[in-house]
Amino acid sequence: MSESGLPCVEGLFSAEDGVATLHGSKCTGCNTPYFPRSEACHNPDCTGSNIVDFDFGGSGTLWSYSVADFPPPPPHKFDKPFAPYAIGVVDMECGLRLIGQMVDKAEDVKVDAKVELVIDTLYHEDDVAYSSWKFKQI
Amino acid sequence: MQEVAVIGVGMHRFGKTGDDIVGTKSVGSLCRTAVDAALKDAGVNWKQIQAVAAASSRFSGGKGWGLNGNDVVEDLGSTGIPVYNMSAGCAAGGNAFNVGYSMVAGGVYDMMLVVGGEVMPKGMIQTSGVEEATDPEFLRQRCIGMPGPSFWSTLARRRMFEYGTTEEQFSQVAVKARKCSVHNPMARFQKEITVEDVMNSPYVSNPLRLFQICPVSNGAAAAIICSKEYAKKFTSKPITVASSTVATMTFNDMLPRGLADPMTECANLHTEAQNAVANAFEKSGIGPGDVSFTELQDNTCYYELAFPEEWGLCEAGESESLLMAGETTPTGRMPINPSGGFVSFGEATTAMGVFQIAELTWQLRGQAGGRQVPDAKVGLAQTLGLGGNATAAILKR
């Protein structure tokens, strides 16, 4: 984490000792992970639907990415002047295909690259840094 | 079940707030024009309409935009008929058509109006504006910032990675679409463009450029449907609804709609669309090989390449070569979006499913002028809405 601050949305993730942890859930019946937490299992072949908390982090492979060349409309928040950023779709080792901003510059991002989860600043408001999870190419 | 027919269609030309086409017209005014045209086309008067299936976007509430079918009825004359307001994002028009179809097929009503229309807020489509952590769309925009174009761009980039699709090929889809739109008096854009024009338009979300993405538009479309038996009173050449379906995505889908999606062995990214189209084929007994032309939801040119493959209209990885050989033009082997598509119309969200029904009807009647698919016998239409829902319809003459 580049600076101390607050998460952009409470309860979704945390960063301790520099390690990014996302707080999801998992069905113990069929082992399906969810993020954010799901209250029920979405697998129609799973009769258990026994959901427990599931924390994950770690690394994955970049399935694809795009670039936000224009500022997205609210409720997105960003520091001005707007700087284009890359958005990654990552196949995580924990079994989730997860979306997040990339820390890397758009021109450096490559499909199929190995990436890891980090927590990084998303925007500032009233001198407070608000953070989110992002991907960083390894 | 009774057979259902389309006997009249109408549209208000699509445009942008403030332009010469739609100016400052309200959604009610746009819908009235479309409905009047559909009634006239059908030879039906307003009082003969027994119920309305309206594509509604009022779920986006609080922003002062969106269609409420009740208002359309008031404007046309408060006859007290039932209105079903269907809210399904970009699939709302297709949903409304399916509800109308199902009720007529089931014998609940003899004749119904299906209508969709929109006056869209400027810029990229926004979420509800309610900051609620249980709303996956809010989370995606706050935590990441990934509006529609960036979502589509990840799909386009993946296709480039898997199939070697080039930016010029995405551009060629737009060029082909605009060439059709020249002959469509209802399209917002009616001028031809070149590959250079598209490649010179700015990236909205790399790798997709401005002319490869549909903008938001204002517009409206309407269709009058009735039982095939009842249709005989009005026309000797009704267009038959071979099937109309609604579907949602299945668990094994691999495209995250929110923040993340569990990974499975399934390669399909749009199971809702695939399910809707597959069900439409199954219910009608019509196969991909019987389809004369397709109107699919091309929010971006990417979909024109991916969808035909996912539905079995062509082989996986074949779309680019068909495109470059001109086979997706109205006179080709696999015509896609002879109307000019969303890329030429812009998206007036709830109108789109009904806009497709209008185009299918005109094509099947042989009234499509310079964009006519020769001897069109069977048309396939498809919409896709936020949150994993989709619709399909197959019409035949």
**Is residue A1 domain-resident?**
no
Q: How do the pLDDT tens digits run along chain A, 138 residues long? A: 445 689 999 999 998 877 899 999 999 999 999 999 999 999 999 988 899 999 999 999 999 999 999 998 888 999 999 999 999 999 999 999 999 999 999 999 999 999 999 999 999 999 999 999 999 999
**How far is Cα B95 from Cα B115, in angstroms, rounded to an integer?**
11
Taking CB atoms and an 8 Å limit, are A64 and B154 in contact across chains? Answer: yes
Q: Which amino acid is at B9?
A: V
Number of separate domains in chain A: 1
Q: Is residue B287 domain-shared with residue B356, that is, in the same domain?
A: yes
Q: Is residue B30 domain-shared with residue B144, that is, in the same domain?
A: no
**How far is Cα B117 from Cα B11, in angstroms, rounded to an integer?**
9
Query: Comparing C-alpha atoms, which of A98, A106, A107, A110 is closest to residue A134?
Result: A98
The ipTM assigned to this model is 0.95
pLDDT above 90: percentage of residues in chain A:
88
Taking CB atoms and an 8 Å limit, are A64 and B161 in contact across chains? Answer: yes
**Is residue B128 domain-resident?**
no
Taking CB atoms and an 8 Å limit, are A66 and B207 in contact across chains? Answer: yes
Band the pLDDT of B353: cuts 50, 70, 90. Answer: very high
**Does residue A36 have a cis bond before it (omega within 30 degrees)?**
yes
Query: Comparing C-alpha atoms, which of B213, B181, B237 is closest to residue B8?
Result: B237
Let me know: does B168 contact B223? Beta carbons within 8 Å.
no
Cβ partners under 8 Å of residue B73, min gap 6: B52, B79, B81, B83
Band the pLDDT of B127: cuts 50, 70, 90. Answer: low
Taking CB atoms and an 8 Å limit, are A70 and B157 in contact across chains? Answer: no
Q: Is residue B117 domain-shared with residue B170, that is, in the same domain?
A: no
The structure tokens 């938001």 sit at B216
Q: Is residue B324 domain-shared with residue B175, that is, in the same domain?
A: yes
Identity of the residue in B144, B161, B251 whose CB atom sits nearest the CB atom of A42: B251
Q: Is residue B232 domain-shared with residue B367, that is, in the same domain?
A: no
Let me know: does B357 contact B270? Beta carbons within 8 Å.
no
Query: Comparing C-alpha atoms, which of B71, B43, B390 is closest to residue B224?
Result: B43
| pLDDT of amino acid A4 | 60
Question: What residues in A contact B129, CB-CB < 8 Å?
Answer: 74-75
How long is chain B? 397
Out of B56-70, B227-241, B365-379, least confident range: B56-70
Q: pLDDT, tens digit, for every residue of B23-77?
A: 999 999 999 999 999 999 999 999 999 999 999 876 544 344 578 888 899 999 9
**How far is Cα B146 from Cα B22, in angstroms, rounded to an integer?**
30
- Phi, psi at B270, each rounded to 5°: -135, 65
Q: Is residue B222 domain-shared with residue B331, that is, in the same domain?
A: no
**Does residue A75 have a cis bond before it (omega within 30 degrees)?**
yes
Mean pLDDT of B157-165: 97
Cβ partners under 8 Å of residue A4, min gap 6: A129
Taking CB atoms and an 8 Å limit, are A9 and B133 in contact across chains? Answer: yes
What residues 235-274 of chain B have any CB closer than 8 A to a CB of chain A? 250-251, 254, 256, 258-263
Question: What residues in B contact A35, CB-CB < 8 Å?
Answer: 259-260
Q: Domain limits at B352? A: 138-184+194-211+241-396
Quick check: helix, strand or coil at residue A120? strand
**How far is Cα B192 from Cα B171, in angstroms, rounded to an integer?**
13
**How far is Cα B139 from Cα B143, in angstroms, rounded to an integer?**
6
DSSP for residue B336 = B
| pLDDT of amino acid B64 | 47
**How far is Cα A62 from Cα A103, in angstroms, rounded to an integer?**
13
Q: Is residue B202 domain-shared with residue B234, that is, in the same domain?
A: no
Number of separate domains in chain B: 2
- Phi, psi at B246, each rounded to 5°: -130, 140
Inform me whether the C-beta atom of residue B136 falls under 8 Å from chain A C-beta atoms.
yes
Q: Is residue B232 domain-shared with residue B262, that is, in the same domain?
A: no
**Is residue B133 domain-resident?**
no
**Is residue B10 domain-resident?**
yes
Q: Is residue B256 domain-shared with residue B330, that is, in the same domain?
A: yes
Q: pLDDT, tens digit, for every residue of B248-280?
A: 999 999 999 889 999 988 778 999 999 999 999
Question: What residues in A contact B300, CB-CB < 8 Å?
Answer: none
**Is residue B295 domain-resident?**
yes
**How far is Cα B275 from Cα B307, in angstroms, rounded to an integer?**
12
Q: Is residue B170 domain-shared with residue B298, that is, in the same domain?
A: yes
Identity of the residue in A36, A42, A70 whose CB atom sits nearest the CB atom of B139: A36
Sequence-ordered strand ranges (E) for A4-95: 6-7, 13-16, 19-27, 33-34, 51-56, 59-68, 85-92
Q: Is residue B159 domain-shared with residue B169, that is, in the same domain?
A: yes
**Is residue B132 domain-resident?**
no
CATH number of the domain encompassing residue B50: 3.40.47.10
**Is residue B101 domain-resident?**
yes
**How far is Cα B93 from Cα B315, in angstroms, rounded to an integer?**
29
Cα–Cα–Cα angle for B244, B245, B248, rounded to 5 degrees: 165
**Is residue A93 domain-resident?**
yes
**Is residue A105 domain-resident?**
yes
Question: What residues in B contact A118, CB-CB < 8 Å?
Answer: none
**pLDDT, chain B, mean:** 94
Taking CB atoms and an 8 Å limit, are B206 and A96 in contact across chains? Answer: no
* Structure tokens given for B289: 């090989």
Taking CB atoms and an 8 Å limit, are A67 and B150 in contact across chains? Answer: yes
* Structure tokens given for B316: 């996986």
| pLDDT of amino acid A3 | 56
User: Which of A6, A99, A120 best probes binding to B when mutated, by most B CB atoms within 10 angstroms?
Assistant: A99
Q: Domain limits at A32? A: 6-137
Taking CB atoms and an 8 Å limit, are B260 and A87 in contact across chains? Answer: no
